[in-house]
Amino acid sequence: MMKYSGQTRVLVAVDCIILGFDGESYKLLLIQRGFAPEKKKWSLMGGFVQPQEGLDEAANRILEELTGLKNVYLEQLHTFGSPHRDPVERTVAVTYFALLDIQKYEKQLSQDYHAEWFPLNDMPELIFDHMAMVEMAKNRLRYKAALHPLLFELLPEKFTLPQLQALYEGLYEATFDKRNFNRKLLSTGLFVKQHDKDKESSKKGAFFYKLDQSKYINNFQAFLKFIPNPEKFLAP
């Protein structure tokens, strides 16, 4: 088989950043690394790309092998290629990220590698440059969420305004004025009020809402109305 002469081998890996929301805070799915170096330290889901598979195939295979999760939409984020990011061999890592409804996928989780959800603002120390990967994923998510209702992937079909406020406050690490937030939210015309209420959080209860997908398509910029300082997040 022909090879390029005078070239040094470089390994290619993929790392998966899996984010979820439990109704109150964001969480990150981590595993305990199964081999040296940094064995049993907390890590993103990662592994090496095999010769006969593409990057997307590798990301889905590795995620399923290490967590049991499958049929998860993964989006490629960035490539990390510092010469010294892996102390064993020169390894280029391609990162992917995904948003999950934690309750929907909880039963799929495998215990083989101790996959566990951690609060995004209270994570353990991660191996290598995985913390930088997580920070980049957070910034990309903030940018995309300012333009697109992708955060609704983290909510059930029906949700309350307090749930939605907690979702956005957690992502942007900001506190919104409740009255202002609700007014701006409803002014977008993207939400359909339901007749039933969620009475678990208070006696009075909060009405459920649904996203009106058809109106959203024709009113793309509406989400900018209630994102604090959206201009900060409009550069990917």
Instruction: Please report, for the domain that includes residue 156, its CATH number.
Output: 1.10.10.10
pLDDT reported for residue 105: 77
pLDDT reported for residue 226: 62
4 occurs within a structural domain: no
Task: Check whether 207 has a pLDDT greater than 80.
Answer: yes
| End-of-domain residue from the set 121, 145, 169 | 145
Is 19 in the same domain as 128? yes
Provide the number of structural domains found in the chain. 2
Is 138 in the same domain as 176? no
Helix or strand (DSSP H, E) at 120: none
3-state secondary structure of 28: strand
**Which residues have a Cβ under 8 Å from the Cβ of 134 and sit 6 or more positions away?**
17, 28, 44, 120, 123, 126
Helix or strand (DSSP H, E) at 31: strand 26-32
Residue 78's DSSP bridge partners are: 95
Is 141 in the same domain as 154? no
Q: What is the mean pLDDT of residues 92-114?
A: 84
Is 193 in the same domain as 227? yes
| End-of-domain residue from the set 145, 173, 208 | 145
125/49 Cα distance (integer angstroms):
25
Are 133 and 80 contacting, i.e. CB atoms less than 8 angstroms apart?
Answer: yes
Tokens describing residue 79? 């490539």
What global pTM score does this model have? 0.85
Structural domain for 196, as ranges: 150-233
pLDDT reported for residue 204: 79
Please, which pLDDT band fits residue 220 given cuts at 50, 70 and 90?
low
Is 93 in the same domain as 78? yes
159/149 Cα distance (integer angstroms):
14
Q: What is the mean pLDDT of residues 130-134?
A: 97
